Chain A
Amino acid sequence: MLIDAKGKACPIPVVMAKKELDAGCDDLTVAVDNATAVANLTRLAESRGLQLAVDEQNGLFSVRMYGKGEAPAPAPAASCAAAGDGYAIFIGKDHLGEGDPELGYNLLKMAIYTLSQSEQPPACIVFMNSGVKLPAGGEQQIIDNLNQLIARGSEVLVCGTCLNFYQLTDQLKAGQISNMYDILDRLRLTSKVISL
């Protein structure tokens, strides 16, 4: 089956693909026109244990998912459980607390540093809304600290819709572009979510 999802913004291509897969389709090709959609479709295929083939021509992508697949989401569960004690950090803005924005930004930067030094790093860190400005910004300390966390097993998931909104998709320097499905799955699979 072929789905034409060109011109559709995140997460519509994934929604369309997921609907067909849930209906039993075992050989699906989705045509999209942006890298975020490819990344999200790739993650969808991986989470279902499907074979994947991606083809690009003149900025248009063809993502084929096929095979029998496996039960969805065992991989995320395992990867979350493997890092630290299975807690998640949710960062939905580019500052911590309310008050002076510069102080709030520095507090958040300090919190990410402290997490990177923690003996028990989080299983995953989720960035949404203006929070995506941190992994896609120019602050080297934050990028370094996030990459240290990734090296220690933390997953860093960055909302693709939000990156797109702030026109930062090509600026992402740490973590992976994700979507609402994966993000909510990760949060559900951890035993505790700390919202900063």
Chain B
Amino acid sequence: MSGEYYLVVFEQTEQAILAQKLLADLEAMVMPTLREISVSCGLSLRLKPEHLEEARRRLRGAALSDWQIYHISFADNRLRCQLLRE
């Protein structure tokens, strides 16, 4: 479970649930939004790097609102969360 991955975070939980169905066949994994990104209890989708582009394409196509993607990695025993530019 370690190693780099991408995390899609949402402003609204309902949007996250919709997106989960949209990305189900891409092995998108439901997980809590990392505390480093938001202190609120959010529902995020974890993506493998190889599914990033397809996921992004679908999210744009579905016109889901208020989502962002972070690149999550570990370096020097620290978690790094980098917001991707859309």
Interface: B37 (CB within 8 A): no
Chain A interface main SS type: helix
Contact B17 A110 (CB under 8 A): no
**Which interface class (under 10, 10 to 19, 20 to 34, 35 or more) fits B?**
10 to 19
Which one, B23-31, B47-55, B56-64, B67-75, is touching chain A?
Answer: B23-31
- The answer on a CB contact under 8 Å between A113 and B17 is no
A154 to chain B, nearest CB (A): 15
B10 to chain A, nearest CB (A): 12
The B interface is mostly helix, strand or loop, or mixed, namely mixed
Which of the four size classes fits the interface of chain A? 10 to 19
Chain B residues proximal to chain A, CB less than 8 Å: 1, 13, 16-17, 20, 27, 29-32, 43
* In the complex, the 3 A-B pairs of residues with the closest C-beta atoms, listed nearest first: A113-B31, A141-B29, A109-B30
25 pairs, CB–CB < 8 Å, chain A vs chain B: A102-B17, A103-B13, A103-B17, A106-B16, A106-B20, A106-B30, A106-B43, A109-B30, A110-B30, A110-B31, A110-B32, A110-B43, A113-B29, A113-B30, A113-B31, A113-B32, A114-B31, A114-B32, A116-B1, A117-B1, A117-B31, A140-B27, A141-B29, A141-B30, A148-B1
